[in-house]
Structure 1
Amino acid sequence: MRICLVASARFPVAEPFQGGLEAHTATLAHALADRGHRVSVFAAPGSDPSLDVEELDVPPFEPSAAARADVGAHPDAWMREHHAYLALMLRLARGGQSRFDVVHNNSLHHLPVAMAPMLSVPMVTTLHTPPLGWLESAIAMSGGASTFAAVSRHTAAAWSRAVQAEVVPNGVDTSRWQPGPGGGRAVWTGRLVPEKAPHLAILAARRAGLAIDLAGPVLDADYVRREVEPLLGDDARLVGHLHTDALCDLVGRAGVALVTPQWDEPYGLVAAEAMACGTPVAAFARGALAEVVGVSAGRLARPDDVDDLARAAREAVALDRTAVRDHAVRHCSVQRMVTRYEELYARAESPTQPAEAS
């Protein structure tokens, strides 16, 4: 099958990944190609060329002086992203049917959904976030031109007022995220931003009597300076923004992975990655984490309760690492995810075929 995979225009799909969406896109593209599909990824400049990337890079849009003077003018970054997706969708409308059998919209932008009725190629859109107003508007006006998937039951339920989405949980490459030996330190991975709350992971690890390493990109420097840096020391180290192989090694050598969202996590990819390494998870019970973290693979804590997270960490450390890994292989593998997407692509091509029960 010839697949057009539409990715983010904001961050490149390249190591080290800026976040779960970019890591997910790369994993999906490689796994589809491994199954014999021809995949073209439309992504931000600087993306991994091994993905057969066509960059979402168009001549810069420069609004006129009069447009810039408008008190309601959008920021330049917003306009650049809008312009890139508009150019892509017009290209697909003019000639997409000669190049592709299906378009998989893996972006968070509203234009691919809003312009789906213009295409002669079926579109599948994955919902990666809680409901967004501009996407709900695009869904309402697109007349069912896209087939929708959601990355968890929680996310599907959150979007149910706007659209009925089939649940296709995210997956990790369990051949790359290999089991590690464990160790005496905890680990936290992800974007260093307030909604991921790494500062709470440090506090919980200390109360559990554990040292902790934190890895990920600093996307809110003011937050990190204010909330994270004052807590750092020998027992709490910020080790940087790591490539996947180094991240696998770090996570595999940890005794427990802490996951501390202060928002309703749509899936929880970092939890799945940790479990694939055999590292048990202690997480706030927010969003889809209760779906991802099995009782044999981790412990959940009351949201935002540092003492309860410390309790969960102490309990999780004692779990059998082989059972943790087995849970990830059974429930969080990329192969399981790709099979579900192949089924969804086939149904999008033949929309009269009844959907199978999830």
Structure 2
Amino acid sequence: MTEKPLKLLFMSTPVAPLGSGFGGGVELTLLNITKALQDRSHEVEVVAPLGSELDSISIVEIPGEWQPIAQNQGRNLPIILPENSVLANIWEYGRSVQHQYDAIVNFAYDWLPFYLTPFFQTPIAHWVSMGSLTSALDRVICEVMNRYPGTVGFYTHTQAATFNCEGSYACLGSGLQMSRYQFCPQPEDKLAWMGRISPEKGLEDAVEAAQKTGISLEIFGKIQDENYWQNILESYPDAPINYIGFLDTDRLQERLRHCRGLLMTHRWVEAFGNVAIEALACGVPVIAYRRGGPAEIVCNGETGWLVEPDSVEGLVEAIANLDQIDRENCRQQAEMEYSLEALGDRVEWWLLQIRDG
């Protein structure tokens, strides 16, 4: 703990209430950063859309219309701000109370908070949750990185490289409350896939791999694109899949830890992959495409296998080699690199640098 604890205002994703699952990995990241900093006696207030829930953490709930999800927009689409925008309302609240805080942390992957940065007197730290998706956002992120060096944080270097910016940044990774994830040394003969069910996540490759191997695939996550999901079911009617749904952490790890491996079949540059470290925390090896953040997480041949992107045959081969992975190595990597303590060290250092200028 520092001599003078930080007072921080966390500004949530505006795409849906926290706890809904539609915010993807940023929901878990926001929760765990809050816990990590509160454990160090820092004061954190979370501002989020109306209807949000964040474990036992109190939230300032803001009404308004949700923001469109960035990955569903075209690269050159103009900036969108709905009428009575919850994003605008969240940042109007932040403006009105900014002087009560040492720093504001932005978790919204959106143009507006970056644009507003010069107009706030309290420094803003930006946690960027995805890789490059739109030209307008790329440009404003680079402008903030150049004007306010070190105030932008990414999960991984791979993610940061997609923006092609020259300014300095913080590479922060992620972390978990390890006590909530139980190690399982002897798994059942089944696989797992976790994430938002939408095209960029490439679920159909995992389903095809399950069909080819005959090993049951448990699917965890929110169905974001119903047409996409129905197309998978129609394309692979005989695949051994079991859709579990979106579960909270405790119920998720109860099922996940009994799986032989986690498949990550993303078609885009995944910024990080919280699902990967959740699996590792349970001792579950990760089979991931060698693309984006997961390639910086998985130790090939030690805590899982990295496969050439979009290769179902590569997934099948890696599944056949899962027994070569020592599940204890998976848990040990998670404890050393992705505990709340490790995350807290990185984020605390970043925010103190921003506060102290």
Same fold (TM over 0.5): yes
Percent identity between the two aligned chains: 25
Change (3 A) 1:92 1:215: closer
TM-score relative to the length of structure 1? 0.86
1:175 partner amino acid? S
Aligned to 1:65: none
Residue 118 in 1 paired to residue 119 in 2?
Answer: yes
- Cα distance, 1:16 vs. partner? 5.4
Structure 1 unmatched ranges of 5 or more: 62-71, 352-358
Q: 2:352 aligns with which of 343, 346, 350?
A: 346
Structure 2 unmatched ranges of 5 or more: 1-5, 67-76
TM-score relative to the length of structure 2? 0.87
Change (3 A) 1:148 1:74: closer
Q: Distance in 2 between matches of 1:239 and 1:233?
A: 17
Change (3 A) 1:236 1:85: closer
Q: 1:79 aligns with which of 57, 65, 82?
A: 82
- Cα distance, 1:134 vs. partner? 2.7
- Cα distance, 1:161 vs. partner? 2.1
Aligned to 2:279: 274
Aligned to 2:137: 135
- Cα distance, 1:233 vs. partner? 5.2
Detail structure 1 runs of 4+ shifted over 6 Å in the superposition. Answer: 72-75
- Cα distance, 1:91 vs. partner? 3.7
Q: Distance in 2 between matches of 1:148 and 1:73?
A: 23
Deviations 1:38-92, CA, capped at 9 Å, x for gaps: 111111111116322112325x79xxxxxxxxxx9987xx4147x3333333443
Matched residue SS, 1:175: helix
Aligned to 1:159: 163
Matched residue SS, 1:115: helix
Aligned to 2:319: 313
Q: Distance in 2 between matches of 1:95 and 1:324?
A: 43
Q: Distance in 1 between matches of 2:255 and 2:336?
A: 23
Q: Distance in 2 between matches of 1:280 and 1:108?
A: 30
Q: Distance in 2 between matches of 1:323 and 1:74?
A: 45
Aligned to 1:336: 342
- Cα distance, 1:234 vs. partner? 7.5
Q: How many residues align?
A: 336
Aligned to 2:29: 24
Deviations 1:84-118, CA, capped at 9 Å, x for gaps: 33333344334411x21111111112211111112
Equivalent residue runs for 1:100-115 within 5 Å = 100-115=101-116
Q: Distance in 2 between matches of 1:7 and 1:262?
A: 26
Say if 2:210 and 2:239, in contact at 8 Å, map to a contact too.
Answer: no
Aligned to 2:296: 291
Aligned to 1:207: 212
State the Cα RMSD in Å: 2.4
1:47 partner amino acid? S
Say if 1:203 and 1:306, in contact at 8 Å, map to a contact too.
Answer: yes
Aligned to 1:224: 229
- Cα distance, 1:162 vs. partner? 5.8
- Higher mean C-alpha deviation, range 227-236 or range 36-45: 227-236
- Cα distance, 1:35 vs. partner? 2.0
Say if 1:283 and 1:289, in contact at 8 Å, map to a contact too.
Answer: yes
Change (3 A) 1:275 1:141: closer
Change (3 A) 1:202 1:73: closer
2:108 partner amino acid? S
- Cα distance, 1:318 vs. partner? 3.2
